[in-house]
């Protein structure tokens, strides 16, 4: 399905989400080159940021030869297990009463981030699995603190297969926290885990150079086309297109209000289009009176401002001067205005935007694969 | 499952979403009383605002005797049809090439909002269905304008079974738009549809008095506990509880940073908890450094401020002075701090918050029904 197809004089009602799996593979391969010789792995938590973890895992397994996957919860691992036979599945939030059975069944590798969780893990006596230990280096989120590590015995320390931590500010190349966390990580490794494989970086850390890549990099956001190194132009390809049909075209007279709470008023006569998509589809309501809809007219992209509040199922935009018909497509996210641009307009980050969009079950979903 | 259950010294990892179906029925019944003698109907679009349209439709059909349901898209109607035999299902976004087959199969009632869609409807020649016509009265979203109505023949006008419109500012009792839209609606009814049943109000209009309720009211947000009349205390009961386990408790030293981009710095030594929920679960990232987590300690609710950025899977909060253990539950949304309060903290509306939360598939979902 070409995004340049015009569908004049037809009526459509459903928004469309296109996911380009070829570009996901290409992004992954480029990242593999960038982090070489570190081992690549794919972060497909939160249902692969909403794009469908089973589809994305299978794609990267078959098309990218990926053999290491990270999910947040064991139930997410369960969803992909059958599609990635023999691959290692790491569970970032670790193991608990509510997931122990899945770990025993699927042999997921838990990330152990606290003494309490470690004690629980040991009680489970799950064979053939050596957990990962997460250590705290400055993010102050999950992870063993130095004082916790002091209480681990020599036998305890030998139970782990990898030591990981997570960077707080890796999307800012020169942020002092990067070097601070790197130094902390190296000190902890050398003191407690001198022989253990290590992983510090996610997609953003992949661009900080060889000091940061260690044995494995956890590639997530960048696979999905997000610029995790925003201090330079994006090297990744956009993988998602979100578009929705024009349901109605009509006129505003000078003085007319638009949308809930009448937050927009026309200062002059206008032509408007009502597009069949809204915050129910994950298009953030914060785009009200701020965001943009794009239309392809005579081989050129034209921009229309969102006016009034984004509602649950509809967005209204100002198409004054544009030659459009009902049934044509308004583009919200596409190659020329990808996730990062829309997230900026919505005053959030691409991760949250993508995660919300992908969850909607009303989209007509199209997966593009060669 | 009581929300007062404390689970000391256990480890849990998954967030929990509890939906109280009894309260959904009670809210619906109270609304039926308020709008009497108007016919009640339930808006269960966007997967019943994320709570599962099939479950909610079945609940209202069996427990509330509801026989009229509104969805946004035909694919949403398909999901509920088998659970509401004989009920009428209205489709707000109307009919198009991408849904016509479902209308023919399930006999959904389309809401026709434009001359183009009406022309398309007539071509489908679907028997036994009389569509609804939506007219524009001031919202300037979907709906026939007066000039469009002028082009309808007498035969056209007789094809419809109901005339509806939608209020822009009904959550503000004294907003001038309410009376303005009411007058417009009555003028249009009297001129074009004098004999037709009519519907103007959704949940918010239900509280504006008998002039606004006409023959049918479309009850949505209020069923789910949202206060659609925020100029007075909420008459609806909270129906959702969102809670997540404490994964880790640790210390911050004065000067430590917390979370992505180091947006929080401890001015004094602190105790913090890491909770296993994040924006991947629909807890808006805009709650970063603003929102609250609540804990039940010795039969009292204690409040802990969210510090640092909300991340995809975790939230960090300041629990200095609170006696908590790993495995206890942090509450984000519950009876004492319901959707409206959290939405205010997140600088959005309850509709968007609920819609995002309900979509997450990682939640351990609990439906409470007598």
pLDDT digits (tens, 9 = 90+) for A301-348: 999 999 999 999 999 999 999 999 999 999 999 999 999 999 999 999
Query: What's the gap in Å between the CA of B331 and the closest CA on chain A?
Result: 18
* B114 to A141: CB separation less than 8 angstroms, yes or no: no
pLDDT per residue of chain A (370 residues) written in tens, 0 to 9: 333 333 446 899 999 999 999 999 999 999 999 999 999 999 999 999 999 999 999 999 999 999 999 999 999 999 999 999 999 999 999 999 999 999 999 999 999 999 999 999 999 999 999 999 999 999 999 999 999 999 999 999 999 999 999 999 999 999 999 999 999 999 999 999 999 999 999 999 999 999 999 999 999 999 999 999 999 999 999 999 999 999 999 999 999 999 999 999 999 999 999 999 999 999 999 999 999 999 999 999 999 999 999 999 999 999 999 999 999 999 999 999 999 999 999 999 999 999 999 888 899 999 999 8
CA B87-B90-B96 angle, to 5 degrees, is 135
* B259 to A169: CB separation less than 8 angstroms, yes or no: no
Give the Å distances, CA to CA, from A52 to A6, A350, B258: 28, 17, 30
Q: Is the peptide bond before A37 cis (omega within 30 degrees of 0)?
A: yes
Residue A29 to residue A205: CA distance in whole angstroms = 16
* Fold classified for B238-368: Lyase, Ornithine Decarboxylase; Chain A, domain 1 (2.40.37)
A260 is catalytic: yes
Give the Å distances, CA to CA, from A263 to A260, A343, B172: 7, 21, 13
Kindly tell me the burial class for residue B176, based on how many C-beta atoms sit within 10 Å of its own C-beta (0-12, 13-18, 19 or more). exposed
B130, B231, B260, B325: which one is catalytic? B260
Q: On the CB side of A156, how many CA atoms lie within 13 Å of its CA? A: 17
* A351 to B279: CB separation less than 8 angstroms, yes or no: yes
Cα nearest neighbour of B355 on chain A: A280
Nearest in space to A7 (alpha carbons), one of A330, A328, A332:
A328
Nearest residue, CB atoms, A247 vs list B13, B113, B280: B113
Q: Which top CATH class is A239-368? A: mainly beta
Whole-prediction pTM value?
Answer: 0.95
Q: Which top CATH class is B37-223? A: alpha beta
A12, A23, A28, A45: which one is catalytic? A45
Dihedral through CA B153, CA B156, CA B160, CA B163, nearest 10?
Answer: -30
DSSP assignment letter at B201: -
Give the Å distances, CA to CA, from B7 to B10, B11, B246, B297, B314: 6, 9, 10, 12, 20
Q: Which residue is listed with tokens 């989209």?
A: A363
User: Contacts of residue B13 in chain A, CB cutoff 8 Å?
Assistant: 73-74, 93-96, 98-99
% of chain B residues with pLDDT over 90: 96
User: Contacts of residue B46 in chain A, CB cutoff 8 Å?
Assistant: 280, 312-313, 362
A367 is catalytic: no
Name every residue whose Cβ is closer than 8 Å to that of residue B250 and which is 6 or more positions away in sequence.
A114, A136, A140, A145, B271, B272, B274
Nearest residue, CB atoms, A98 vs list B12, B168, B355: B12
- The complex scores an ipTM of 0.95
User: Contacts of residue B149 in chain A, CB cutoff 8 Å?
Assistant: none
Residue B200 to residue A264: CA distance in whole angstroms = 22
Residue A364 to residue A15: CA distance in whole angstroms = 6
Residue B214 to residue A96: CA distance in whole angstroms = 53
User: Contacts of residue A180 in chain B, CB cutoff 8 Å?
Assistant: none
B12, B23, B28, B45: which one is catalytic? B45
* B138 to A257: CB separation less than 8 angstroms, yes or no: yes
Give residue limits of the domains in chain A. Answer: 37-223, 239-368
Cα nearest neighbour of B326 on chain A: A116
């Amino acid at each position: 399905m070409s995004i340049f197809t015009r569908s004049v004089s037809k009526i459509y009602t459903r928004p469309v989400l296109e996911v380009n799996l070829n570009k996901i593979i290409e992004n992954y391969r480029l990242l593999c080159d960038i982090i070489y010789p570190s081992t690549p792995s794919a972060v497909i938590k939160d249902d692969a940021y909403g794009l469908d973890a089973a589809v994305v895992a299978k794609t990267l397994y078959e098309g990218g030869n990926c053999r290491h996957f990270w999910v947040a919860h064991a139930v997410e691992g369960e969803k992909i297990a059958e599609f990635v036979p023999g691959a290692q599945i790491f569970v970032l939030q670790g193991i608990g009463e509510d997931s122990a059975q899945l770990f025993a069944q699927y042999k997921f590798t838990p990330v152990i981030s606290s003494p309490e969780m470690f004690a629980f893990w040991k009680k489970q006596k799950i064979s053939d699995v050596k957990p990962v230990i997460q250590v705290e280096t400055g993010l102050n989120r999950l992870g063993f603190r130095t004082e916790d590590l002091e209480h681990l015995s020599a036998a305890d320390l030998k139970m782990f297969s990898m030591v990981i931590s997570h960077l707080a500010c890796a999307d800012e190349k020169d942020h002092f926290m990067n070097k601070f966390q790197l130094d902390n990580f190296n000190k902890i490794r050398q003191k407690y885990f001198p022989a253990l494989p290590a992983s510090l970086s996610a997609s953003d850390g992949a661009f900080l150079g060889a000091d940061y890549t260690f044995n494995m990099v956890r590639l997530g956001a960048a696979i999905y086309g997000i610029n995790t190194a925003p201090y330079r132009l994006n090297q990744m390809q956009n993988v998602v297109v979100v578009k929705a049909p024009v349901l109605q075209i009509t006129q505003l007279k000078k003085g007319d209000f638009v949308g809930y709470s009448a937050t927009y008023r026309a200062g002059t006569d206008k032509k408007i289009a009502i597009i069949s998509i809204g915050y129910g589809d994950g298009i953030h309501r914060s785009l009200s009176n701020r965001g943009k809809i794009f239309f392809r007219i005579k081989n050129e992209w034209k921009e229309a401002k969102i006016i009034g509040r984004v509602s649950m199922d509809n967005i209204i935009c100002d198409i004054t001067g544009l030659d459009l018909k009902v049934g044509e497509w308004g583009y919200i996210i596409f190659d020329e205005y990808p996730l990062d641009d829309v997230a900026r307009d919505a005053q959030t980050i691409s991760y949250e935007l993508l995660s919300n969009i992908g969850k909607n079950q009303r989209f007509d979903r199209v997966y593009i694969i060669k």
